[in-house]
A and B are shown apart, each in its own frame.
Chain A
């Protein structure tokens, strides 16, 4: 089996990473009751003998050895110390060791140029070393997951500089980026600059990007908490729609981290996205989906690799007397606007390709039935009318009997991108704050224009899908042979 390394960069990246490791441990603990170190848990964790100073790996071997001490296959990078050092002090601290971390104290000042050019160059050797160490522990490294925000300076700047480094040094290892886009009410004034500058790097150097909008996460969390009134100690809440405690996608119940911080619920959504995305590569199923199949099936053209994710159901009902929600509802919801991780509406836009990855007690025929049911209402590009990729993983998520992750390569993403471009243009027209960027060594004014052009071309490529839908399809005639 293959392994993946998570590279978490900046405040946002590390917060998501923190939630990811907590939930990943929770998931493997619930599947792997005997505490055996097998290939499945080995895809995200090393098993080490912690008695040594520089702990050596205990290989999976026959898959029957006990877990001694787990270490996350992770690289933690931040230009401030706060989040990372807090994580190290907390209960999750044990799964990392200090050789996996790289921190500075000064921060990137919400400036992409500082992160990308200044720190990216200054720390290049060190980052490369930390990544190399993580990579060497893997016996078959399949994928890097890079987690960062697009608005801040460290995440977007250092994150994308690491992306380039990974491409240079590990060309055969996939690079998946989970990028959190700032909402319009973002308090960082330069966030549109950072996002657009970073976008160019993502378009050119990532294999696959999962864009996530902060506002969409907020909306989903609200949706869940409306269904589940917060329980106060000493007071039991009776509600018809009460959510089963550990079933909500936004909850961290059952993890080792007990005190909940702000953003945790939102970050849990992203952490679950990563778990569901990789579940079929880690666990058994009758239709496996390995990570390399995701890009193969969902990225028809190299630059159009932005995939919109949605996860359903958001929670299970705690009331056993309530009839379970129909299985089909899970599929319907996956296409609904309010379940998407960006604020966009794929159902009314054009699909290039769509993946449905199911976990738990769902049969092949359930997927087939639902594709047949949903297909007439969805628009696919003419050359990919059957653009469905499906996966069946038999291990359900913690707290739920089943779940569905849908990934869509859909034209509606151009609206999200256009919004960012508009905000970028507003600042750029007035040349606001430009000098902060241009004074950084390695940065030249051309980069702004180039990045803007790169983004515009992506937007246009996606928009063209929609305009092409209104034009008659001229099919190229098939080859003629004379026998």
Chain B
């Protein structure tokens, strides 16, 4: 099964480049913990999923390097040309430069400019590129769209293109990976843009994986011990998270032995259309140096990961162990992070023999979910990115409600003064469009609150 990645906007393109480079790092990693034959199968399966390969170098001198199954979209050229260059410089993989689409003038952080102007203008060309890429897949497993919520192109054009994808591929799976902006200081109108994007994506995408810059920043700082954090560092964490889930693994469910593909993951994780927000938690995460000198037990990792879920901790450091599924607030409400469903991906040494009973416990899930449908486990005995043991948890839980609430709050406060609204109306939006988006997100918040 192959996945096509859409890189939308500056953020989407930067993240995309990093994801493919992390994939290649993992595919060609030195220590794998597998026999050569098993490892070949893993490599083949991953390459097939994310890259197209040619057996020999083309006659025109083109390389035989793996070529990412990606479509690059931005409204200005700089980010794309930088991403193409970086890939070329790596010497290990490339993009197909023909699969990129850019205009001359950016969307200027204006969602309406992206959605109402650039989107309709570019969607035919972009869908054409997607079609060409899809024709190269013997089995198309779905789409992964990468974008930020803050800017204009990623968010505005991204929302439009996702809609077009849905129209043209009604039965394919679409996973949108959205980068949640820093709380302060990236783009001032980011909360408007985020509200508009999320409400539109909620109608079209199968699931949204939420990556918060603030938490990623903390991970870089505290777990990876990076002093001067750049966007590259942040993107590397995003790539690590996403690939830790998407790289080949085998699911335990019904009959077992099934390759865990995007479709079955999303079917399991999103049992209800009002609940589409996913988060990914990883353990362990550490700097390369620390990794060489550390040793982990599966039992410890799993136990920590579960508590990260319950206490909604973004990382293993500073988990609040006092929170338990049984604890209640004074008013009788549950105060832990209740989930709807989860997917645990275990990778590395002895991954096949780990008992995930910590996650099958029905008390951490909402009561109306049948207990045999709450947790799915997938395994892969191969080391992931040279981690001896590592686990990733994709969860559909209340965790995303907090940042969502924050964004709605701020956007609403701003909207009540109508600040900046004129800039959106200029491109054909109306105040009702804003209100519709607010309403649909309030519904999302309400349905997560009711878990």
Contacts and interface: CB of A to CB of B under 8 A. Distances in A.
Interface residues of B, number: 53
Nearest to A291: B108
A375 B78 CA distance: 32
A366 interface: yes
Contact of B188 (A140, A287, A387): A387
Contact of B105 (A142, A287, A297, A479): A142
A476 interface: yes
A364 B231 contact: yes
Interface string A278-301: 000000101110111101111111
A390 B186 contact: yes
B138 interface: no
Contact of A2 (B79, B105, B408, B413): B105
Contact of B446 (A293, A387, A481): A481
Interface stretch (B40-48, B53-61, B353-361, B436-444): B436-444
Contact of B416 (A297, A476, A481): A476
Contacts of A227: none
Contact of B230 (A39, A286, A290): A286
Given A366-B228, A383-B414, A288 B189 contact: no
A475 interface: yes
A478 B230 contact: no
Interface in B229-258: 229-232, 234
B260 to A, nearest CB: 32
Contact of B412 (A39, A356, A476): A476
A348 interface: no
Interface in A382-412: 382-390
Contact of A39 (B77, B183, B417): B77
Nearest to B182: A368
A388 B184 contact: yes
Interface in A437-483: 475-476, 478-481, 483
Given A292-B110, A363-B230, A368-B185, A300 B420 contact: yes
Interface string B419-451: 110110000000000010011001100110010
Contacts of A290: 76, 105-106, 108
Contact of B185 (A298, A386, A479, A481): A386
Given A292-B105, A386-B184, A368 B217 contact: yes
B380 interface: no
B188 A386 contact: yes
B78 A478 contact: no
Contacts of B110: 292, 296
Interface in A14-52: 39
Interface residues of A, number: 50
A480 B435 CA distance: 12
A300 B413 CA distance: 13
Contacts of A481: 439, 442-443, 446
Contacts of A284: 78, 82
Given A140-B104, A292-B106, A383 B438 contact: no
Interface string A129-140: 000000000011
A356 B185 CA distance: 9
Contacts of A142: 105
Contacts of B412: 476, 478-479
B129 to A, nearest CB: 21
Contacts of A353: 188
Interface string B97-116: 00000001111111001000
Contacts of A286: 14, 230-232
Contacts of A382: 413
A367 B228 CA distance: 10
Contact of A296 (B10, B77, B109, B410): B109
Contacts of A291: 108
B124 interface: no
B185 A390 contact: yes
Interface string B59-89: 0000000000000000011110010000000
Given A288-B76, A365-B221, 19 more contacts: A2-B76, A39-B77, A287-B10, A287-B186, A288-B106, A296-B423, A300-B417, A363-B230, A365-B217, A365-B228, A365-B229, A382-B413, A383-B417, A384-B414, A386-B410, A387-B188, A388-B185, A389-B187, A479-B442
16 contacts: A2-B105, A290-B108, A295-B423, A297-B109, A300-B419, A302-B422, A363-B230, A364-B229, A365-B227, A366-B228, A371-B185, A389-B188, A476-B412, A476-B416, A479-B442, A483-B443
Nearest 4 Cβ contacts at the A-B interface: A292-B108, A388-B185, A140-B104, A300-B419
Interface of B: 10, 14, 76-79, 82, 104-110, 113, 152, 182-189, 217, 221, 227-232, 234, 408-410, 412-414, 416-417, 419-420, 422-423, 435, 438-439, 442-443, 446-447, 450
